[in-house]
């Protein structure tokens, strides 16, 4: 596996564990796959290398979770989010490509922490529930995906602002991630971030990711959401903060 991922053995094990855990969070909460995996790996691998690899993981998880999610989702809102995110993504990727690798890692981890704290505080921005707010959310999510690969967390904040049920939020997120993934592939290919190495890494990590998704899906019980969601967010904050500390100490 190390030769497929082009990583040292220890980092290969960490990548597999990160993708399994991130998949479990995605299967349960409907978001957080790229966010959690990024929090665990960004201190070691430049985000611009991780983002296209995560495309394969998000698409695989979205296809698995599509059953049932289509009926639960707010499809008109998901379509607006997908189209506007398609505009924001290339802008974010262009910025990420221009950043120094260390600065890119720092920015990605900082964005993760801010978005996670916003979710923990259950910050509600009523403007997000409007049509212009939906467009702005999609644009911002696309941009953040290009910087840190975690646009899905901003979409989860959008769902929180609209105060929609957990199943509806999971369904809307799933359609957004699936549709956005199709546009994302085109953007990655045009910009050149979908390299052979990124594709190989993404394909190699699909299996542990889907194993985690199935575990998380089996554990999904609405009555647990009150406790599970904050636990996942605090875990993400802790991992991202430790990654930031590691970067600071390495200077």
Q: How do residues 122-135 score in pLDDT, each as one tens digit?
A: 766 666 667 788 89
φ, ψ of residue 6 to 5 degrees: the values are 55, 45
pLDDT of 87 higher than 80: yes
Whole-angstrom distance, CA of residue 25 vs CA of residue 61: 11
State residue 67's pLDDT score.
Answer: 64
Q: Left, alpha or beta for 32 (phi > 0: left; psi -120 to 50: alpha)? A: left
Q: Which of 73, 26, 75 is nearest to 169 (CA)?
A: 73
Residue 250 has pLDDT above 70, yes or no: no
Q: What is the pLDDT of residues 149-172, one digit of tens each?
A: 777 777 777 776 776 666 777 677
Mean pLDDT of the chain: 81
Rounded distance between C-alpha atoms, residue 171 and residue 77, angstroms: 11
- Identify the CA nearest to 25 among candidates 191, 130, 170: 170
Q: Model confidence at 70, in pLDDT bands (50, 70, 90)?
A: low
Q: Express as a percent the part of the chain with pLDDT over 90.
A: 17
Compute the distance between CA of residue 247 and CA of residue 251 in angstroms, rounded to an integer: 7
Give pLDDT tens digits for 2-57. Answer: 777 888 989 999 999 999 998 988 887 767 788 888 888 988 888 889 999 999 99
The three-point CA angle 14-179-122 to 5° equals 65
Given a cut of 90, is residue 184 above it in pLDDT?
no
Question: pLDDT-based confidence at 102, cuts 50/70/90?
Answer: confident
User: Using one digit for the tens of pLDDT, what is the confidence trace for 217-234?
Assistant: 787 666 666 676 676 677
Q: Say what the pTM is.
A: 0.77
């Amino acid at each position: 596996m190390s030769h497929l991922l082009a990583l040292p053995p220890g980092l290969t094990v960490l990548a597999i564990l990160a993708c399994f855990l991130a998949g479990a969070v995605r299967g349960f909460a409907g978001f957080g796959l790229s966010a959690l995996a990024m929090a665990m790996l960004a201190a070691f691998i430049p985000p611009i290398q991780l983002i296209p690899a995560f495309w394969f993981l998000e698409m695989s998880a979205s296809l698995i979770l599509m059953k049932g999610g289509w009926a639960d989702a707010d499809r008109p809102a998901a379509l607006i989010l997908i189209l506007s995110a398609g505009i924001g993504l290339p802008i974010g990727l262009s910025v990420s490509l221009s950043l120094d690798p260390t600065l890119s890692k720092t920015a990605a981890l900082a964005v993760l922490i801010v978005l996670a704290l916003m979710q923990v505080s259950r910050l509600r921005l009523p403007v997000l529930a409007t049509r212009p707010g939906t467009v702005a959310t999609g644009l911002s999510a696309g941009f953040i995906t290009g910087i840190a690969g975690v646009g899905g967390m901003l979409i989860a904040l959008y769902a929180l602002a609209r105060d929609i049920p957990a199943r509806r939020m999971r369904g809307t997120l799933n359609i957004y991630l699936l549709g956005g993934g199709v546009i994302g592939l085109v953007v990655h290919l045009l910009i050149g971030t979908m390299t052979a190495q990124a594709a190989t890494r993404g394909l190699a990590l699909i299996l542990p990711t889907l194993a985690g998704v199935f575990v998380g899906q089996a554990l999904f019980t609405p009555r647990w959401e009150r406790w599970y969601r904050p636990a996942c967010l605090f875990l993400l904050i802790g991992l991202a903060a430790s990654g930031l500390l590691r970067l600071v100490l390495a200077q």
